[in-house]
């Protein structure tokens, strides 16, 4: 599949791309309840991230979140695991640099699946664009983040602005973004901002999602 074909069929439905992260959720909050709170805020695209869960538990959680996403009229993206995305009928998968190659994920999930790929510098972004087979590129971390144990080097707003002209497909910024910085991230050229900690770790994830939507102009 060409980059042009991917571009023609996917656009972020909102300028906020929330991520329900089991690892980042505050103590006592399970990720299904977290996802419910985010969906209730009105988001139309949600990513589920649960890197520490065993496969069987991840599938069960993903099925529960997928059912809630369907009821809310939202699409669910599974982080890393194309096999889980296929098992639960999710809309697609978000891949990291060390995950299944995009072409293999496309073979597994089909032409209608949404496939995103994380990049952490300009060289990785250029390679993602050349490789094709994906629907959007993630770039970051834009700011320091605690959502990864060993985060990649911070790129900053200037690097985001620099790679924007080099990315002919939807570009989502990620890493340390909150309600106070999302407008600047979008102004630097991102089509959407992916947010983990400011939602998953919030005392009230529903209110945090609403605040981010407002800050993004939605």
Residues with catalytic function? 49, 118, 148
| Sole residue written with tokens 């929330």 | 18
For residue 139, the cross-strand partners are 119, 173
Q: Judge residue 2's burial from the number of C-beta atoms within 10 Å of its C-beta, 0-12 exposed, 13-18 middle, 19 or more buried.
A: exposed
User: Are 134 and 115 within 8 A, CB to CB?
Assistant: yes
- Whose CA is closest to 99, among 122, 119, 81? 81
Cα separation, 121 vs 160, in Å, equals 9
Cα separation, 32 vs 34, in Å, equals 5
User: Are 16 and 44 within 8 A, CB to CB?
Assistant: no
Q: Residue 65 is encoded by which pair of tokens?
A: 């979140």
């Amino acid at each position: 599949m060409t980059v042009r074909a991917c571009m023609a069929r996917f656009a972020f439905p909102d300028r906020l791309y929330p991520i329900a992260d089991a690892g980042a959720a505050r103590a006592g909050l399970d990720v299904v309840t977290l996802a419910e709170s985010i969906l209730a805020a009105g988001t139309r695209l949600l990513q589920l991230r649960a890197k520490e869960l065993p496969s069987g538990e991840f599938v069960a959680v993903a099925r529960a979140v997928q059912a809630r996403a369907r009821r809310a009229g939202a699409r669910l993206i599974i982080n890393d695991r194309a096999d889980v995305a296929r098992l639960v009928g999710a809309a697609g998968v978000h891949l990291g640099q060390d995950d299944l190659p995009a072409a293999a994920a496309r073979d597994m999930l089909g032409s209608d699946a949404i496939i995103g790929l994380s990049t952490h510098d300009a060289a990785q972004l250029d390679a993602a664009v050349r490789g094709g087979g994906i629907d959007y590129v993630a770039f970051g971390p834009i700011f320091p983040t605690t959502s990864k144990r060993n985060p990649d080097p911070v790129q900053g707003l200037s690097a985001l602005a620099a790679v924007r002209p080099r990315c002919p497909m939807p570009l989502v910024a990620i890493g340390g973004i909150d309600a106070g910085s999302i407008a600047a991230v979008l102004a630097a050229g991102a089509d959407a901002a992916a947010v983990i900690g400011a939602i998953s770790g919030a005392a009230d994830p529903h209110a945090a999602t609403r605040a981010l939507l407002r800050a993004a102009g939605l």
